[in-house]
Amino acid sequence: MYEEILEQMQELLKDEIKNFSGDFGKLEQEVMAMMMSFGKGLLQRLVDCGPNGYKGCSMPCECNSSMKFVQHRPRDIHTLFGWIKLKRAYYHCQDCRASLAPYDKSSGLGSQQLSPGLAKACCLLAVDDSFAQTSRKLEELFGQKVSERTVERGVHQVGSVALGQQNQELNTTFAVRQ
* Interacting residue ranges for Zn ion, rule: CB under 5 A: 61, 63, 65, 93, 95-96, 98
The residues with which 161 forms a beta bridge, in sequence order, are none
Residues 6+ apart with CB under 8 A from 146: 78, 114, 118, 122, 135, 138, 139, 154
| Residue placing its CB nearer to Zn ion in the complex, 61 or 84 | 61
Least separation in angstroms between CB 98 and Zn ion: 5
Least separation in angstroms between CB 92 and Zn ion: 9
| Residue placing its CB nearer to Zn ion in the complex, 100 or 138 | 100
Strand order in the sheet with 82-92: 58-60, 66-79, 82-92, 99-100
The residues with which 175 forms a beta bridge, in sequence order, are none
Least separation in angstroms between CB 64 and Zn ion: 8
Least separation in angstroms between CB 170 and Zn ion: 30
Residue 81: C-alpha distances to residues 32, 35, 59, 77, 169 (Å): 11, 9, 34, 10, 32
Q: Alpha-carbon distance 119 to 60, whole Å?
A: 32
The residues with which 89 forms a beta bridge, in sequence order, are 72
Residue type, 6: L
| Residue placing its CB nearer to Zn ion in the complex, 48 or 95 | 95
Least separation in angstroms between CB 91 and Zn ion: 10
| Residue placing its CB nearer to Zn ion in the complex, 61 or 118 | 61
| Residue placing its CB nearer to Zn ion in the complex, 9 or 70 | 70
Least separation in angstroms between CB 123 and Zn ion: 35
| Residue placing its CB nearer to Zn ion in the complex, 92 or 136 | 92
Residues 6+ apart with CB under 8 A from 148: 131, 132, 134, 135
